[in-house]
Amino acid sequence: MISQTAEYALRAMVFLAMQKSAVTSQDIAATTKVPPGYLSKLMQQLVKSKLVNSQRGIGGGFVLSRKPAEISILDVVNAVDPIERITTCPLDIKSHGLNLCPLHKRLSAAAHQVELAFAQSNLAELVDEAASPLCTSVPLTN
């Protein structure tokens, strides 16, 4: 449903949302099981998108740029690998123009529903749900 890139970015962002201070890329990679080289590129994209701040030096690392409740899942996904919507015929059939066939119309509608669901969920909710006694597995804690 989403790319591995988006999954990795979400893991990193949820992990950052669980932290009280800056975290190094090595710590993020180890906990989230994201390959370090790949994580480095993702973190650059997240900094560029203003979702994350980086701090150099002793005590440095990465922190969220805003409160977890202010960062939606859609914000994270759009920063690294936006969900593609179908607006014109992907087969380039000229007679279709902007009128999508039934298949592509449904695929576009499904992508829209995913966008809405992601826009309505934020990092704070994910952290809170993970802390709930009803949650039996918390993948981003040691």
Q: CATH number, domain at 96?
A: 1.10.10.10
Q: 137 in a domain, yes or no? A: no
Q: 18 in a domain, yes or no? A: yes
Q: 112 in a domain, yes or no? A: yes
Q: 139 in a domain, yes or no? A: no
Q: How far apart are CA 108 and CA 104, in angstroms?
A: 6
pLDDT at residue 74 above 90? yes
Domain that holds residue 14: 4-131
Q: 92 in a domain, yes or no? A: yes
DSSP 8-state assignment for residue 69: G
Among the ranges given (27-31, 34-38, 56-60, 103-107), the one the predictor scored with the smallest mean pLDDT:
56-60
CB 5 within 8 A of CB 81: yes
Into how many domains does the chain fold?
1
What is the pTM (predicted TM-score) of this model?
Answer: 0.85
pLDDT tens per residue, range 78-119: 999 999 887 777 777 777 767 788 888 888 899 999 999 999
Q: 122 in a domain, yes or no? A: yes
